Every structure is written in structure tokens, then in C-alpha cells.
Amino acid sequence: MDSLTQATLGGAIGELLLGKKTGKRGAIVGAIIATIPDLDVMLIPFCNNLQRITIHRAYSHSIVFSIIGAIFISFILSKIKSFKEISFIRLYIFSWLALFTHMLLDAFTTYGTQLFLPFSDYRVSFDSINIVDPFYTLPLLVGLLITLYSKNQSKSRFNKIGLLISTFYLMFTLGIKQFVNRKFETALKKQKIEQFDLLSVPVKIGSVNWYGVAKTKDSIYLGKYSFLNTQSPIHYESFPVNDTLLNKLDPHLADRLKWFSKGFYTVVKDKDKIRLYSLQVDMRGVKQIGKYKAPTAGFFEITSNPDKSYKLQYKEH
């Protein structure tokens, strides 16, 4: 999710667990802690283009990091005057929740989060919410701000209400996703497309518009469903996967691009360059470029050099 949402969630947790003893300080510290995992973006300028797709939401977004990081953070807080009266266990729970909820919230988006590092680089992604979604953020933010600035003695209930509404909405998106998946599956079967893996992701604001990607042995089928036009039939555009084109690339490069796409990609050759469209992390619909159709706007372009090295760039149509 975006930084504002992550900070707001951390602030709401801080107010809930520490607010009675620390006032606004608990929310402020919670907001700061909740943004720590995203500091991994500071490493991006020092990475090559291939490393950049693996460095974000990696070790700093793992469960192990949340457990160990919470120990260091709670130890530091226990030495600060404003937090000395709070038990170490409570400080640890607060610190761990501020970190872990950041990672968990990111896992609901399509980019994916490597929660199980260093044991596995599997990218957990529930694909049910956009990176920016005001329907999740606003109740959380409003509840927290009312609590922090209201003079009412029972003001903390607004923060709790905000947390409940935003959490309910997050769970609701999973239910919406299951409903949409059935719509996509039904349309696929009507068009006699069998034995497929299905990816569905929301686009734009809220969980109103969705793209579905079905992958068969040799093709990708891209369709769209909208709650604003439920009577419109789902029409699928097909694209060949062209997996054999990846055999000409450096094996490590090909493996990482497949990993990043979680298997949902298409490959095309353009003169001496190879383009890979990753539909797991970029879903903007079919683009018509002259007589050529692309499944989305963004793509990885790989240029092989005579010395067997390569140049990897991310571009857009």
C-alpha cells in the first residue's frame, strides 16, 4: 500500500495500544515504525535493473524481520522517558504489529510480498486491493484524526471504529474477488477455454473494475469485468505466451522474470530485442500500437550483447 496508508495504520495501532499512557506520541511513533519496511527503496539506486525487481518487499518485508526488528525497536523505546512506564512485552507487541501489519497489508496488493525470506522467496499476493485505495484509507485516517484531536473523553472509540471499518473492507475485498473469479471462470468455460490458471486483480479505485488473466499451456487470455456494467459479457483477448523465446536469454535472468510475473506473462520478439509483459504487476488493458496489440502498457525489454551479456530496461508503450 501507499506510505500514507501504512503510516495511518501504524498510527492507529499506536493510539490503540499506547494512547492512554503516551497520548499522541504513541500514534506518532506507530506511524514512523510502520514505514520502516519501505526504507528498502533506498537501496534501489545501488542496484541494477534486475536486482530492482527483487529488492523491494524483500527482507525488510519478511516475518523474520518483523520479529527481530520489533525486539530492537521495543528495546530503544524502553529507554525513552515517555515509554518507560510501559512494559517491554506491550512495547514489543506494539512494535511487531506496526511492522507486521505493513507487510500483511502489502500482501493484499498485486505486487506481492516475500513474507517467508530467508527461507523462501515466494511472493505472497492476495490480489484483492489496489496499492492506493481511499475506501480502505479514509475510515482509518478519519477515525485516528478524530481520536487525536477530539476533547471528548471517549474519543478513542473513533479510532477503534476506523480500524474495524477498514479491516472489514479489506476482508470484503476477498469476498468480492471470489465472486469476480466465478464470473471469469464461467465466461472462460462458455468460450471453451479449459485447463487454465486464473489471476484476477482490481484496477483503479475500489474493487469495482477487475481484470482477469487465464493462462493455458501456450496462451494468455485477458478479460475485464465491471460492477458498473454487469450485463456486459466478458470478452477475452488472447496472446501467445511464446515461452521458447526465453530459452535464448541468460537462465538466471529468465528465471527471475518468470518469478516476478508469477507465471503470468507473454513474450514477443522485436528485431534483436525481447519483450516480456508481466501481467501480475501491470494491468492496464490491451494497448493497440499500430497493427500490433500488447496485453498491457509496461514491459521488460532485454537486449542481448555479443559478449553474452544483456541489457534489461523497463519501458512503456
Record the cell numbers describing residue 191, joined without a space: 468460450
Q: Mean pLDDT in the chain?
A: 93
Across residues 272-283, what is the average pLDDT? 90
Rounded to whole angstroms, the Cα distance separating 196 from 187 reads 12
Tens of pLDDT, residue by residue over 173-203, are: 999 999 999 999 999 999 998 878 999 999 9
Across residues 210-225, what is the average pLDDT? 94
Tens of pLDDT, residue by residue over 108-139, are: 998 889 999 999 999 999 999 999 999 999 99
DSSP code of residue 224: E
- The model's confidence at residue 204, banded by pLDDT at 50, 70 and 90, is confident
Assess contact for 241 and 215: CB atoms under 8 A.
Answer: yes
One-letter amino acid for residue 261 of the chain: S
Tens of pLDDT, residue by residue over 234-274, are: 999 999 999 999 988 889 999 999 999 999 999 999 888 99
Helix axis angle for 24-34 and 3-22, nearest 10°, is 150
Across residues 210-239, what is the average pLDDT? 93
Record the cell numbers describing residue 51, joined without a space: 536486482
The pLDDT of residue 151 is above 80: no
- The model's confidence at residue 36, banded by pLDDT at 50, 70 and 90, is very high
pTM tops 0.75, yes or no: yes
Tens of pLDDT, residue by residue over 70-107, are: 999 999 999 999 999 999 999 999 999 999 999 999 99
